[in-house]
Amino acid sequence: MQLTLRKVMNELEKVNNVMDKSTSSFNSPTTNDLKDCCIRSALECFRSQVMNLNVTQEKPIIKSLKSISNESRKKVIVEKLPSCNLVEGEKKEAQCKPCESYSKVNSQMFVQNFQTLLQKIYASQA
């Protein structure tokens, strides 16, 4: 799991270095407003938007984006993340915010928040 996380973090760093710091905005969870059991849905929120980052159209960078998207959905990561305990009569999703409800941030802050979440996951597995 840690190798996969490390790969995602490295690819995200490559993207961050060449990314167009555009005015595009993205819904971005922050680790401050996340319950531990909502890390899985936050990771999915980042993963679902990462291909929309404005980057140079160089093949290695496009490959990095695809790698981030594919690696961050692997079972080796997702299945190890805590999930919220269901309370009788409640839907699991109701405990975690939907992706579109997080505040919008620019692409640079989006990547920083994504990196912070990955670091938190990595540290929890050490």
pTM for the model: 0.82
pLDDT of residue 35: 79
Instruction: Identify the residue whose tokens are 């995200």.
Output: 12
Q: Is the pLDDT at 28 greater than 90, yes or no?
A: yes
pLDDT of residue 45: 94
Q: What are the start-end ranges of the H helices in 2-125? A: 2-18, 39-49, 59-71, 75-78, 92-95, 107-125
In one-letter notation, the amino acid at residue 38 is C
pLDDT tens per residue across span 63-118:
888 998 888 888 888 888 887 766 555 554 457 889 999 999 999 899 999 999 99
- Point out which residues pair with 26 in neighbouring strands: 105
Q: What domains does the chain contain, in order, with CATH numbers? A: 1-20+32-124 (1.20.1250.70)
